[in-house]
Amino acid sequence: MLKSIFKAALYLGAAFPIICSAQTYQPTTLGAKAVLKDQSIEIQFYSPDIVRVIKTPVGRTFRTEGLSVIKKPEQTALKLSKRGDAVDIASSKLKVSLDLKTGAISYATAKGASLLKEKTDGASFKPFDDAGNKTLTVAQSFVLDKDEAIYGLGQHQRGNLNQRNQVYKNMMQGNTEDVVPFIQSVKGYGVFWDNYSPTTFSDTQAETFFSSDVGEGIDYYFMNGGNADGVTAKMRDLTGQAPMMPLWTFGFWQSKERYKTQDETVGIVKKYRELGVPLDGIVQDWQYWGNNYLWNSMEFLNVDFSNPRKMMTDVHNLNAHLMISIWSSFGPETKPYKDMKAKNMLLDFHTWPESGSELWPPKQDYPSGVRPYDVYNPEARNIYWNYLSKGLFPFGIDGWWMDSTEPDHLSAKPTDLDIKTYLGSFRKVRNAYPLMGVGGVYDHQRAVSSDKRVFILTRSAFAGQQRYGANTWSGDITSSWETLAKQIPTGLNFSLSAIPYWNADIGGFFLTKYPRKLQDADYRELYARWMEFGTFTPLMRSHGADAPREIWQFGKKGDKVYDAAEKFINLRYRLLPYIYSASWDITAHQSSMMRALFMDFAADKNVWDINGEYMFGKSILVNPVTKGMYTKTQGTNSNTEDFSAVKSQETYLPAGASWYDFWTGQKLAGGAKVTRETPLDIIPLYIKAGSILPFGPQVQYSSEKKWDNLEIRVYPGADGDFTLYEDENDNYNYEKGQYSEITFHWDDKKGTLSIADRKGKFKGMLNNRTFNVVLAPAGVNNSTNVKAVSYTGKKTSIKL
């Protein structure tokens, strides 16, 4: 009888309290509320597998800005039941249990399998004076299984993939650190700690907790996805889906700190075209606006950029795209600065550059006066776009390089966090700064144009930023083998934070370890290996300070570093159909492009802690070379190349699949380590059996040739599927259904490749084409046993 009363109360949204063990709780339309002796707890189901938990001290009103989460609660069928001193709230996917004595919450699957438990007495509220606002420092502890692996937390440069036994104190956005207070477990659940203030994450065998400096209460989301892709899908359901990137963003990009004239910028593109090395993008870094007092004016005020329209026309006529640097701060002589200062929209702390002088080192007795703006203020975001839309957008700029989106916080004083923003103290909303700044540009551009997809390269990110067409790079990292090795788990944990687009400066930004710069043989070898790694990241971009990084700086055809770089740039372009389809898998199915091995092989515990290998898409296992092999040291500052012996590298192939060496076609068993030779132009690449890989034509830029003669490589040994995605490459018509999908299925037992009816259509679509099907074990250069299939959009099959 009591159980039926609970059900009726829930479905009718009743608000009467039910007394149990001197504690009270009441059903709500979203779940239940409970009042214990010292805290109020509310459990809200946002969907059958997403739950929000809000805890406050008794009598305190809870308020939040809700900057990351954009999902509204779904109507979810729930059942309440009494079990001793606990109340169970169950959906079709999840059971949440609240202990009315302790206030601890536990989570289990609908079938009762335990997922996560809060620690008894794990909630903490401590009074905190936040610049005059009487608020709280809040914390929540959980208890994990002893051997459970967890991942995420954004981008941190420690070199670890598994976040167990890690402590990150007082996390705030930084140049190379991106805070995303989200973890996911190998057990298939995730936790998003919805707080924007400086946050500590700590994991020990005793407890795992989040603690934030400022909060009106504890506010977190628990999600059950069943596996890593499922968890990622739930997080994006909460915080926003990732739109399609333009095709050209997946080509090769050249950058430098900085090209100093428009002729130099255009000349770089011309040189790539003359050499016949593919290129899709060039980046114009800072000071096209002039001196530091004009910092980020978002106008071409530098005399060496006197005809920006011609510069853009020249770049576009070379079939390339240009991305330009914009910042979240302004110099005191700029129009945006003056407008925002008059309205108290600038944050009064030191940021880059500190000096008005361009000499190095900076002359601090000439302060620049550059200040960041209050991105939390919607009117300030309007002003920012107003100047961007007048000063740069009309020239046809293709992408925005949003630098210092943390923003840079130099000579930081404790009182800087007391600075008032539109949403309260800077401390309260500190970590959401990049989300608001990047989101402001995306939303404004989308509002005025759908002809060109928004593309943003940003140095910082927060939860939900995937919805803003942004690719995050790992900041101003140093050039070293150690740094290169760390980029792999750094990028993987960032992707496991549900933000799929990430990259690193190919070659590293600062060359401080290499005083001889590009003359250092060890650095040249490092650059080649970094280029190979960059081929298998969502954005392939060469960039750095201290020395230029264009391919000809490393020699000419016939030189080993040059040839290795050119080889992998060309491989990147051959893989564009695969990469673009993987991008669609992100948008349509909440997938990830850089995939930690546990995402696809969670049953193999050997992969849970592997830091140096990953899947690129769902077919290609990548094991970048991150140690020098071909440099012989002759002294403290001198070394030479030594290619007298070919070196090797070991790779662990996950169990649960067979594998093919990409270069030779040799078939290998999973669940074992293998060793292969790694000359300078080879890294270990393995293709999962059952994979179907499309290879595009050799081109000089992404859209140079139609995909009317794609090579389709089939890797037998298991059944497999692949969906080839195509659209108009650079507008938002795909959101209206203007795209096509062609699904391939490999039946391993029958040895038959089936090509399904084409789904969808779009302007410029290929109605007739040829697929050149290859049974792949003969290796990467296989040109025999090709079977040409004429395809008109109707289902067909071929026996191999």
DSSP 324-356: EEEESEE-TTSHHHHHHHHTT-B--S--S--BS
406 a catalytic residue? yes
At position 777, the amino acid (one-letter code) is P
The residue from 65, 88, 416, 476 that is catalytic is 476
Residue with tokens 């969906």: 723
**Residues sharing a CB contact under 8 Å with residue 740, sequence separation 6 or more, in sequence order:** 725, 726, 727, 758, 759, 760, 761, 762, 765
Q: What are phi and psi of 217, to 5 degrees?
A: 180, 175
Q: Say how many C-beta atoms besides its own lie within 10 A of residue 724's C-beta.
A: 22
Q: Which residue has the tokens 């046993």?
A: 785
Residues 6+ apart with CB under 8 A from 739: 584, 725, 726, 727, 733, 760, 762
403 is catalytic: yes
Mark whether 99 is an active-site residue: no
The catalytic residue among 213, 406, 525, 532 is: 406
Report d(CA 484, CA 473) in Å as an integer: 13
Quote the Cα angle for 633-636-641, to 5°. 25
Residues 398 and 316: their CA atoms lie apart, in Å, by 10
Nearest to 192 by CA among 52, 376, 31: 52
Quickly count: other Cβ atoms within 10 Å of residue 775's Cβ: 18
CA distance to 84, 267, 760, per residue, from 739 (Å): 55, 36, 6
CA–CA dist 306, 294 (Å, integer): 16
- Residue 509: Cβ within 10 Å count: 22
**Distance (Å, whole) CA 456 – CA 479:** 24
Task: Output the six-digit token pair for 112.
Answer: 């009762």
What is the torsional sign of CA 563, 564, 568, 571? Answer: positive
In single-letter form, the type of residue at position 701 comes to: Y
**CA-based nearest residue to 273, from 701, 705, 706, 704:** 701
Q: Are 237 and 47 in contact (CB under 8 A)?
A: yes
SS (H, E, C) 73-114: CCCCCCEEEEECCEEEEECCCEEEEEECCCCCEEEEECCCCE
Distances (CA, A) of 586 to 139, 229, 498, 577: 33, 10, 10, 14
Q: Which residue in the list 178, 216, 354, 403 is annotated as catalytic?
A: 403
Beta strands in 101-185 (DSSP E): 105-109, 114-130, 133-143, 150-155, 167-171, 178-185
Residues assigned a catalytic role: 403, 406, 476
